[in-house]
Structure 1
Amino acid sequence: MNTQQPTVNWVKNRVRQARADQQQLFDSGLNRLELVRREGKDIELSSGERLTEFLSCSYLGLECDPRLIHSAVSAVKSFGVQFAAARTRALLPPMLELDEQLNQIFQGHTVTFNSVGSAHLGCLPLLGSGELPSYPLRRGPCWIVDRAAHASMQVLQGILWQFGPVQRCDCSDVEQVEQACSTAVAAGNTPIILTDSIGSMRGVYPINRMLQLAERFEGYLYADDAHGTSIHGTSGGGYALAAADARLRHRLILLSSLSKAFGATGGAITVLTAADAEMIRRHASTYTFGGPLSMGGVGAAVASGDIHLSPELGLLQAALWRNVAVIDALLGPVLGNHEVASPIRFVRVGAERDAINLALHLRRQGIAVTTALFPVVAKGEAILRLAISAIHSQTQLECLANAITDGFDELGIRQGGRGDEH
């Protein structure tokens, strides 16, 4: 294991390698869409185009639920758009109500942030310090970072090195994680595995296997479950929580999003005890200094929390998984993540220009999808990402499948890329 912090300017290198492909993407008009209206999954652009979108990661359609909108407006009317004081100094009733709801949903002690990225920035240094009561360290941490972990974690590697060495590996490969943990312990460090639980550009990760390794090597699993929040678990606790053996929960640090399927805004971290949560509230820099919460977002989250803690959530989840099954049946194993417990599907393309051309073909058919090129995916492995929602109609799903099939035929594109599935 290399225990020396890299000196290469990796951000500069990535920008330079990505510039040409990203320029093509923006020049094509596929990015930076200007919406002027939305109704369900139908959107209208400033150009007058009307499209069915498979862009939004709000997998349950809750962001347009009248109850969330009413609660957001009510919170703003009562307390203003925001209260610009650190929450260490003043808390408002909706904030306290939301914390109590999230404790139940995520089965622990939950602290909210403006975003999951803000939670990472505030909590990872605190975890690396060894000061969180339930997460003691040996000499210090060794961070084992999944190569495909979300950019909000990857960008913090320079900060992580201040506390201990960083190893990067493919966390979908349990043998690689095991070797990294073994190396960490041999050097006297505590392994802390940093990974998504459902990848934004990949499939699902072996959460329980990694927890078993964390237990064996006396380390921890820090799981970003942004894409799994709300869509798994009786109360929407998420994929990582549902996959985890209850006996290993003390090894899990759970990160959840309130901005995707939850339908509101913000992020959250769930830890083992009230003492851990209080340590975060007092000493995580972005909790104290990360800016005030949006009161509209808090109000919407409270209304969403009520839905999560009711039987209605199960109906929404069932509608989502029915739609996922429909698209799987229509397109079959040609899709990345076919029959995987994720609402994200991929169309493997390969060449960057081919992916742009296929996305433009879908656009002409009235469909908007995410075109993912380097650095989001590897060079030469471009994909189209499809975010499936509970509120897509059967007709919309059929139109998507037909447009994809016709596009490959009409454009003469041969599918390529690895299209990882885990």
Structure 2
Amino acid sequence: MNNKLRVASAISLALWLSGCDMSSHAASQDQTPPAVPVSIIELKSQPQAITMELPGRSRAYVEAEVRPQVNGIVLARSFTEGGYVEQGQSLYQIDDATYAAALISTKAELKRAEAALASTGATAKRFRELLKTKAISQQDFDQAEAAYLEAKASVAVAKAAIHNANINLAYTKVAAPISGQISKSSVTPGALVTANQAQALAKISQLDPINVDISQSSTQMLRLKQRIASGQLHQPESAQVRLILEDGSVYSHQGSMKFAEVTVNETTGAVTLRAEFPNPDGLLLPGMFVRTIITVGTDPAAILVPQKAITRNPRGQALAMVVDANNKVESRIVTTAEAIDNQWLITSGLKEGDKIVVEGLQKIRPGAAVVPSVMNDAKAS
């Protein structure tokens, strides 16, 4: 009897303890998780200049190759390699002896032609008078007139030959076609050069101002045009361009955009833009790699969000945590554009007045209750 009582008491105690555990578990389930403190900012729209950073390479503003236009031996070089030369300045002297002789010969030929012209002209004039009195036949007059006209043509040919000889003689002094910095010389005195040879004697580059060719992907170009067409961007009349040099320093002079190619490179999928920069100190040299920062327009109502407030989901989409009027968290997919300082420019998904979480993202999830506190702009960025 006592054993039965003990067993019944033990069962009653176990059932009572089990009920207590279940009630405490149910009570814990009924409790709402406490609100999490987070730091937020309230979004405001503002005008914002939109810039784009693109790679580029400097090119000479004007470039000309110096080539011989007559054959001969180079007698002298009259410039300093790497120095500055003026347009028309003599650079090389080619042996001009044969060309001077050719000029003398053509002048002598002109005198012979002029003498023949005088003789045939007098004959033709005399025959014209004789023809009136029928003292000569029409055939004799026609022959005299033809000889006169042939002599006139010979004079014209001789004058043309003199002109050509003068040109060839002038070409023996190889002059600078443009002003600018000249390269090293590919020939020395004593070298034989020929007209229209493949190798240039030297190259002259005008470096002030200087051009910078910029590569922009066709995708970037299309997005930019769409934003301008939709009114998201107000395009400036003349895009201003800044340079970042190879050593990371900022070039002191601003440039301006000149033109964009109308075709896309099939190999790279890029469009070439060209900007022009002043280069009074000669700091920029042709072929230098640079980075360009182009002001492409102004967003009149830009929404900027600190980069640390934007996360990514497994699909790679940008997410922002927005606090609603009931202090509950909502996950919102947004579209980001340019990075401006430490902020993202948001093109869709957020609007002015939205409150987004900047700090405390690790402690919240969609639907969670939060205790928001507003951060100042300095701490938010």
**Coarse TM-score class (shorter-chain normalised):** under 0.3
Higher relative contact order (CA 8 A, sep 6+): 2
What TM-score does the superposition give when structure 1 sets the normalisation length?
0.18
Higher strand share: 2
Larger Rg belongs to: 2
What TM-score does the superposition give when structure 2 sets the normalisation length?
0.19
